[in-house]
Chain A
């Protein structure tokens, strides 16, 4: 029972990580990977793809009470694929095709026989590209770090 729950939790975390990679992906990259992998593009659309808003919240002082800080465009989709599993997608921006493919990816991911396909052909390459881009950005920022030094005046 306990291991079941732990398994469920791990699975939810892995699914969330996959959804994060899809949400972060540039639409063009996802579409290219999709075509390369030869994955299906059609699915029964249960909702969307549709574009709407989310209200973005910040916190007073960075960590205090929440306040509504502004809004952002979000596109979402929910689909059902062959075999019956239902996939959801949400991502910033207005790319409906990206939302649709992401929802199909999420649905296939939940199908034990397709998960590996999605992980290796879609999620892993996206995550690798994102990690590399982040690493580059960190290294570029690190190069602008101020190294203070003390001026030594006088003798000895």
Chain B
């Protein structure tokens, strides 16, 4: 088990981490756009290659990591993340700098995660949600910084009541969480500054 749980990290740590960082940065700068990044890791299930690559690029010993119950239940996934990132597991979602969510539909409410403080709004959790696809779902219309007018975005299997939860997240500004969606085709982001309009609104 030990061997399996450590194979499949970045083949070229420096360049692969840069590629992922660039993809996430561009995705944050242009909310909703899909930034392809390839499959740079081969993690144990239920961790997805793209979510794992985001974690390897962003997490380290100083960033407590929260895992959803499905990931918690996988010793191999926990061991793999620990080995490659050095990130300690967060005791509670409120302690987490990053959270990896393999099953977003079952995710606890966003307000459970660290929201940052008025003085240090950056001290909030960044959620990495594994989704099956970034298109084909219900269309969301995104507005806000990084979007000229409005941007149509239709990821599949977001957390329950996501639009309502996101509205509350917006209301906490400058506090609030940021979201990275990791799908086989790449990453897309919803920074806390982005507003979501559903069609009828």
Q: B31: CB under 8 A from chain A?
A: no
Q: How far is the CA of A47 from the CA of B84 in the complex (A)?
A: 8
Q: How far is the CA of A60 from the CA of B168 in the complex (A)?
A: 46
Q: Interface residues of B toward A: which range? A: under 10
Contact B7 A46 (CB under 8 A): yes
Q: B43: CB under 8 A from chain A?
A: no
Q: B9: CB under 8 A from chain A?
A: yes
Q: Which residue of A lies closest to B60 (CB)?
A: A52
Q: A102: CB under 8 A from chain B?
A: no
Contact B13 A84 (CB under 8 A): no
Contact B83 A80 (CB under 8 A): no
Q: B152: CB under 8 A from chain A?
A: no
List the A side residues contacting B84 at CB < 8 Å. 47
Q: Which residue of A lies closest to B7 (CB)?
A: A46
Contact B2 A47 (CB under 8 A): no
Q: How far is the CA of A149 from the CA of B6 in the complex (A)?
A: 63
Contact B9 A86 (CB under 8 A): no
Contact A46 B9 (CB under 8 A): yes
Smallest CB separation, A93 vs chain B (Å): 19
Q: Which residue of B lies closest to A47 (CB)?
A: B9
B residues 83-104 with Cβ under 8 Å of A? 83-84
Q: A80 and B9 in contact (CB under 8 A), knowing A47-B83, A47-B84? A: no
Q: How far is the CA of A128 from the CA of B83 in the complex (A)?
A: 33
List the B side residues contacting A80 at CB < 8 Å. 3, 7
Q: Which residue of A lies closest to B14 (CB)?
A: A50
B residues 1-23 with Cβ under 8 Å of A? 2-3, 6-7, 9, 13
Residues of B within 8 A of A (CB): 2-3, 6-7, 9, 13, 83-84
17 A-B pairs whose Cβ atoms sit less than 8 Å apart in the complex: A46-B6, A46-B7, A46-B9, A47-B6, A47-B9, A47-B13, A47-B83, A47-B84, A48-B13, A50-B13, A78-B6, A78-B83, A80-B3, A80-B7, A84-B3, A86-B2, A86-B3
